[in-house]
Structure 1
Amino acid sequence: MKKFAKIFILSILCIFTFTECEKQLELSPLGQLDENTFYQTENDFEAASLSPYSTLLNFYFDQTGLGWYQGVLYPDDDVTAPNNSSNDQEDFNWNPNNDQFTYLWEQSYKGIQRANIIIDRLPLAKQFSDVAKKARYEAEAKFLRAYFHFLLAIHFGNPPVSEKAITIISEARKGNSQPGEIWNLIISDLQYAKANLPADWDAKNKGRVTSGAATGMLGKVYLYRAQWENNPSFYASAISEFNSIVASGKYTLIPTFEENFNPNTENNQESLFEIQFTRGDFNPWLPTDFGADGDQNVGAAGTARNIFWRPSCGPGNVCAPGANGMGYGQVHVTLPLQNEFEPNDPRIANTYWRAGDDFLGEPYDPAWSVTGSTPAKYVRQNLIEFSFPLNIEENNDRIIRYADVLLMLAEAELLGNNNVEKAAQLINQVRKRADPTGTILPDRPATVDKNQMFGWLRHERRVEFALEGNRYNDLVRWHRASLINIKTDINFGRTAANQNWSEKHLLKPIPQRELDLNSNLVQNPLY
């Protein structure tokens, strides 16, 4: 299957952005493979179905943090750049020529195109031994198409919707979608995926999306839409999806918080969906799209988190073990995040490094960081002295886990039904896992008002999911629903960020080169 998949990947690299140059659409097929000869059998679609997955890997592999770490993580109030250096993403100096946001746009539409090819070709395939299997391939592609559209929606607002594979330039020159249009497609795709995906996969396909992943993602989309459109009616749909996950009994909180970020306990019973990384020995999702023959990246599907996050040298040039060679020290934990944790919260140790923690045989020195701390989540659980190549660290990125389902359900119950008691019960499940004794993290009482419980919910989300890429999206959706005011309520831990943030930063700018190529696109306000 991998042989066919690698040939297929090369044959469909025809669109790298939504409006790419015309010559890319006129590439001749490699060998004898073309759209009429390849997309016919189960084996063909088994190979093709991996291509949208591999696009997900492109967000994480680059040692400079291209895409996910700079474009998604930096804008929140959890992390800051090293030594007070300037960083446009973090300081909200956003403009349409920003490479990080352009990359998010490009890779999202690349993943959508790959999913659309599968969806478009399935009805034309004539050599299936079991036609009923087509629904599963379509469901898998629709989940991934929905996920990429979701990323575009929460970052760019109303970008073009793409429901079929682009084969000519005119099809790529679509205008902005109408309000609600992108959310409608996401929901429709996830409903189909939920109904047609398997509940589980065999060992060799571990990590591929399941009906549970689709259900969790669907609930998340309803919750986000309720707040993006300030339409509380969507809370009921979110509650229904999350309750079905709870009632299934398939997922549970694993015994320790740390196990969620340990490479030895990936795809466990708390995980609904995670990005599958590997050093190449077992690579179910294929490699990233980057790297030439003979390059160390070929065959790899890893993340550069370890080297991008691990400490390097602090403001006084006090350097951590392996500085620069094994750690670039580009991500530092803000003081507001450190102060958010309750004293001695057991989750601290697996979220950020503190003075005296063991780091490669040496006590962690706060002088290695501009804030006195760097991220430990994922890194502590995979702390090895040397891992070459450095950008194929294999600790999976957890996208949806059961703790998130519980807290999203708590939020929907609280805001949709004013159910303070239910929200407290769900929040306390997450706290109890972190501290089974309840002596450090006592239960939240259900005798408070809705506003107090919502404050506790915001706190719990922040400390439970710190550094997981959810924080800025949470702030945006709460601001849009008038539940918080980012300008007055949030301390980004950096003077420039606090001064520069304004309402326009609820959306990222549409890339300038897309506007230059497509006159039908309209820039987001104030960019």
Structure 2
Amino acid sequence: MKNKIIISLSLLLAFFPFSQCSDEVLDINDPNRLSPDLFWKNAEDAEKALVGVYSPLTTIPGWGRMLGAILTIHRSDIVNTFPQPAVNDVGTFNVVPTDGRVNEGWGELNAIVARANQVLANVPEIEMDEDRKAEILGETYFLRGFAHFYLLNMWGNIPLLTEPVNQVEDLFVEQASQSEVWASIKSDLSEAQSRLPQEWAAEELGRATWGAATAMLGKAYLYTEEWSAAAAEFKKIIDANLYQLVDNYQDNFLPETNNNAESVFELQYESSSDGNWGPSGTPNPQRGQAWEPDIAPKGYTSQKSVSVNQWVYDLYMKEQTLSGDVDPRAYATILWNYPGAMIYQDEFSNALTGEDLNKIWVRKYLNFERTSSLTPGSWSYSANNRRMIRYADVLLMYAEAENEANGPSTAVYDAVNQVRARADMPALPAGLSQEQMRQRIRDERVLELALEGDRFLDLLRWGIAADVFEEHPEYRSNSGSVFQRNKHEYLPIPQNDVDTNPNFEQNPGY
């Protein structure tokens, strides 16, 4: 699928979702754009349209950079963002509704939704192989549910678009209740689950599978605290024996071990030195991992970067492995001044000075075959895929849901201990209470999943985001910024959308 998902389709440009608008102002003959009257005719059209739905995932405004780091990782209590106007404002809690980074992430997720609506409305009427049609619809339901999941959890107050935009008036929608959006997400993911295969041929890697849909459905139930339903979905994945933890934890973050046995849903990046900087409607957009410069240590990036907060280091050092060593996940996740530590090709102790020498930095997803985050190559040099859902995460989400539903059962212990055993960490102590197990699972999510994008969403769903930042202002010591309760839980709705849609309300505090 790598050679299919990453292709930019000229007929699926930025305005593709609105290509059926009938308003006279938009009724202009464009010889470079295929009319919808000539499209949606055959299986080839259906396949091309599906590529258009996948397309926003790996652009720089998508998970290539903005959704991959700036709008997710930078907001968490794990990193301590350095101020950089118009780039790091989200992470320093100085973001405003006109922020271009916010608009880019919002735009790519909504592009997925709009294009998915076109596919779901038109592909059922195409005469083609029915099995393949079902798969296309399953992939599309998955992507729409996936996009709405992140829109809802990042912006909170969003419209629920499930039909194509055919009239200009259709653009002036109202925002939906969160319960309505959650119901749609679960419905879409259930539809996807019923249509998708468990695996694809090797050349189709990157397509959504039954496992990806099941994991996202379980995640939706987890986020809405439907514990038994969430546990049941994750248990389906565990019982299917489709995935396994790889022996080497760091293999989940290296390009040479892309698409390994632990990967449930993985974005396929492509190294690019001559692509264009822009969203999925841009001709030949860059589709490499372009957020490495945003997290690389100072001196190894053109950006202001982030450091890692001390509590994360302390958590890694709290326990030793069965062999008496540091948790190996620490070495794969963070950088600090230990004997033999390297930053790219340089010794840590020689590379940094002053306060920087004593800071903790990001290691995960850095590509140490380079000499810095931008040398050699461009922003999109790296083809180090983003593992959006790993089997380790499934095990920890199952343990959380099962613990909340039934307490710290044997099944809970087994799931967490599988993750710990891979890192040679000792099994959890017997006799933990439900509350104690809850905290151990939350800690394990940091040890296993730090810097993979969901930490702020975890804080939000647990209802502790504001508490954490209010109790620990040092988590933003690099910028001196302050988290505002009932504001910074969500990103602002892009100002352009608020200005052009009289039915939209801005999120509180912005």
Range into which the TM-score falls when normalised by the shorter chain: 0.7 to 0.9
Q: Distance in 2 between matches of 1:70 and 1:349?
A: 23
The answer on whether the counterparts of 2:81 and 2:476 sit within 8 Å (CA) in structure 1 is no
Asked if the contact 2:6/2:268 (under 8 Å) is kept, the reply is no
Residue 310 and residue 7 in structure 1: after superposition, are their counterparts in 2 closer, same or farther (change >3 A)?
closer
Cα deviation for residue 274 of structure 1 reads 1.2
For 1:295, the equivalent position in structure 2 comes to: none
9 and 337 in structure 1: CA distance in 2 versus 1, 3 angstrom threshold: farther
Do 1:191 and 1:214's aligned partners in 2 also have CA atoms closer than 8 Å?
A: yes
- Superposition pairs for residues 98-497 of structure 1, below 5 Å? 98-126=99-127, 128=128, 130-226=129-225, 234-279=226-271, 289=280, 298=284, 300-313=286-299, 323-324=300-301, 328=303, 330-342=305-317, 344-355=326-337, 356-365=340-349, 366-367=352-353, 369=356, 372-380=359-367, 383=370, 386-435=375-424, 441-479=425-463, 485-487=467-469, 493-495=475-477
Q: 1:6 to 1:70 in 2, by over 3 A?
A: closer
Give the 3 Å change call, closer, same or farther, for CA 456–383 of structure 1 in structure 2. Answer: farther
* Match status 1:74 vs 2:74: yes
Distance in 2 between residues matched to 1:5 and 1:45, nearest whole Å = 16
1:503 aligns with 2:486: yes
**Cα deviation, residue 117, structure 1:** 1.4
Kindly report the root-mean-square deviation, in angstroms, between the aligned alpha carbons of the 2 structures: 3.1
1:373–1:217 distance in 2 versus 1, CA, 3 Å: same
User: For each residue in 1:117-156, what CA deviation from the matched residue of structure 2 results, as whole angstroms up to 9, or x when unmatched?
Assistant: 1111113324x2x234211111111111111111111012
The structure-2 alpha-carbon separation of the partners of 1:208 and 1:460, relative to structure 1 and needing over 3 Å to count, comes to same
After superposition, the Cα gap between the structure-2 partners of 1:464 and 1:139, relative to the gap in structure 1 and judged at 3 Å, is same
> How many residue pairs were aligned?
486
Q: CA deviation at 1:473?
A: 0.4
Distance 1:409 1:140, change over 3 A: same
**Residue 522 of structure 1, CA deviation:** 1.9
3-state DSSP class of the match of 1:526? coil
List alignment gaps of at least 5 residues for structure 1.
Answer: 227-233, 293-297, 314-322, 436-440
- Native 8 Å contact 1:302 1:391 kept in 2: yes
- CA distance change for structure 1 residues 217 and 3 in 2, over 3 Å: closer, same or farther? closer
3-state secondary structure, aligned to 2:90: helix
| Offset at residue 115 of structure 1 (A) | 1.2
Structure 1 distance, partners of 2:145, 2:42, is: 25
Q: Distance in 2 between matches of 1:370 and 1:514?
A: 44
Residue 24 of structure 1 and its aligned partner are, at CA, apart by: 9.2
Distance 1:468 1:41, change over 3 A: same
Shift in CA distance, 329/106, structure 1 to aligned 2, threshold 3 Å: same
Deviations 1:435-454 (A, max 9, x none): 1xxxxx32111302122111
Q: Per-residue CA shift, 1:217-274, capped at 9, x if unaligned? A: 1101110112xxxxxxx11110110000000011111111111111111111111101
**d(CA) in 2 for partners of 1:348 and 1:407?**
18
1:14 matched residue in structure 2: 15
Q: Which moved more, 1:374-383 or 1:166-175?
A: 374-383
Partner of 2:321: none
Deviations 1:57-78 (A, max 9, x none): 1256799x54432221111111
**For the residues of structure 1 that align with 2:63 and 2:231, how far apart are their CA atoms?**
37
Residues 404-445 of structure 1: CA distance to partner in whole angstroms, max 9, x if unpaired? 00000111011122235432322111111011xxxxx32111
* 1:337-361 residue CA offsets vs partner (Å, 9 max, x unmatched): 2222125111111111222413343
- Letter paired with 2:315: E
Is 1:52 equivalent to 2:36 in the alignment?
A: no
Distance 1:32 1:307 in 2: 36
1:277/1:396 contact within 8 Å kept: yes
Q: Structure 2 unaligned runs (5+)?
A: 319-325
Instruction: Name the amino acid aligned to 2:123.
Output: L
SS at 1:237's partner residue?
helix
Contact (CA 8 Å) 2:250, 2:332: kept in 1 or not? yes
1:475 deviation in Å?
0.4
TM-score, normalised to structure 1, is: 0.84
CA distance in 1, matches of 2:163, 2:170: 9
> What amino acid does structure 2 have at the position aligned with 1:74?
H
Identity of aligned residues (%): 30
How far did residue 384 of structure 1 move?
A: 5.8
Q: Is the 8 A contact 1:220 1:408 kept in 2?
A: yes
Contact 1:77 1:492 in 2 (8 A): no
TM-score after normalising by structure 2:
0.86
